[in-house]
Amino acid sequence: MAEKVKSHDNRETRRPKAPQKKGIAKRSVKKTGISFGFPGNDRMKIMAKCAVTAAAAVALLMLMIVGADLRPSAVINGFKDKYAFLHASGQGFPVEISGSRAIKVSRLKNGTALLTDITFSVYDTQGREVVSDSHSFGSPAMETAGVYSLLFDRMGKDYALRTISQIIAKGTAEESIICADVSESGHFVLVTTSQTTNAKVTVFSAKGQTKHKWKSVDYKISDVAISPSGKYIALCGVSSKNGNLVSTVIVQKVGAKENLKEFTFEDTLIFDIQYDGNNRIIGIGDDMVACLDVRDDSNAGYSYDDRTLNCYDIADNGDIALVFSKNFDGRNASVVVLNDKCKEIASINTEMTSPYVDIDNGKINLLSQSMVSRYQYNGKLLKQAEVPADCQEIISSQGRLLAKGVMYLTEVD
């Protein structure tokens, strides 16, 4: 055992009192660079605080670009899209439409998508061209949600999922594509023909990986929709019962083997189904509208009675605008707006003939014979503007109202 070393100083060692201990500890901290809180000396503290602030700023910037989705792929795609917008070119609206016909105009999160018979293009709020890529689809079709566009060949086999700036997944289906849809999360669904069943349904991730498969044995599928999260799909199946037409809206959870819910409508053809921003399913039929919610098992409907549906539009908040006429030629059209319970909340009578309708931000826009008219829900006429005579469709996008013609995409003044 080591010997204890005796001190040559025989005086008793003095121990500091409590206040003295505290002072010594502080001086030791400064000398050694130890701190309670941020580690290190004052300079290190400042550097640490700056690093935290910079990290918060980067996180905020990411949220501004890609929203709440901070997956690496979403962050990278968000920066690429932002870069594309910074380099938009052109003189703005009106935009000349390339090719021989415009197939569809649709809203994106940060732009307006235009699909023609030969190109896919995206424009910013000023009408400057962000991207324009050619395609080779024989019968092109497009569905959009958030920053994603799903392009496919209707009754063909090719498809491509893209963000604004690039294609992120593409492929060739085994059979012909009947209908399709894409979600804000990038998940997408294809309904194809099948040699053994009525139809085959496949759900893919944004990377093109298969997430769900289902074969329709009893129904012909007329349309499909996928929820904003990509976790649910809704299918409209058509069948016959005792010689009568029956439409069934089938709701499935992606990955589950059993149907989550089925809603049946006899003597009605549901030809269009969509999810609104609140995960409610809206079905547009030949004689009624259905508002379906799996969460509370609600099934509300609105009958057309003896009226003919000419046109319709669904707003981001779920309001539904329907244009009716009692005359076969579409004269003296009336407009009805429904809320999320399929209750009538507005009604406007016009002298227009089969107008095209757009509903957005509590306003009703009607296009008829080169004139656009904007109404409040109470029927008050707010504004009228002339558009080129060849305009066939209007759409609200990025806070602007656009009119699609044969040769130009025009902003409505």
Phi, psi of 32 (to 5 degrees): -90, -10
Q: Which residues contact 262 (CB under 8 A, 6 or more apart)?
A: 248, 249, 250, 251
> Which residues face 41 on adjacent strands?
none
- Strands 308-314 and 298-303 turn out to be unpaired
Q: Which residues contact 227 (CB under 8 A, 6 or more apart)?
A: 183, 233, 234, 275, 279
Output the pLDDT for position 232: 97
Query: Residue 228's closest CA among 181, 191, 268, 194?
Result: 181
Output the pLDDT for position 58: 52
Both tokens of residue 98?
């390339």
CA atoms within 13 A on the CB side of 280: 23
pLDDT, tens digit only, all 413 positions of the chain: 444 444 444 444 444 444 444 454 444 444 444 444 445 566 666 666 666 566 555 555 554 544 555 555 566 677 778 878 888 999 999 999 999 899 999 999 889 999 999 999 999 999 999 999 999 999 999 999 999 999 999 999 999 999 999 999 999 999 999 999 999 999 999 999 999 999 999 999 999 999 999 999 999 999 999 999 999 999 999 999 888 999 999 999 999 999 999 999 999 999 999 998 788 999 999 999 999 999 888 899 999 998 999 999 999 888 999 999 988 888 899 999 999 899 999 999 999 999 999 999 899 999 999 999 999 999 999 999 999 999 999 999 988 999 999 999 999 98
Query: Residue 138's closest CA among 161, 117, 121?
Result: 117
- Give dist(CA 230, CA 345) in Å, integer: 30
- Give dist(CA 184, CA 124) in Å, integer: 19
DSSP state of 89: B
- Tell me the domains of the chain and their CATH numbers: 306-413 (2.120.10.30)
- Give dist(CA 319, CA 276) in Å, integer: 9
Query: Residue 321's closest CA among 332, 331, 308, 334?
Result: 334
The angle, 0 to 180 degrees and rounded to 10, between the axes of the packed helices 72-86 and 42-66 is 80
Answer yes or no: pTM beyond 0.85.
no
Output the pLDDT for position 143: 98
DSSP state of 154: B
- Give dist(CA 98, CA 150) in Å, integer: 20
- Give the distance from CA 281 to its chain's centroid: 14
The type of residue at 253 is: K
The answer to whether 163 touches 80, Cβ cutoff 8 Å, is yes
Start-to-end Cα distance in the chain: 98
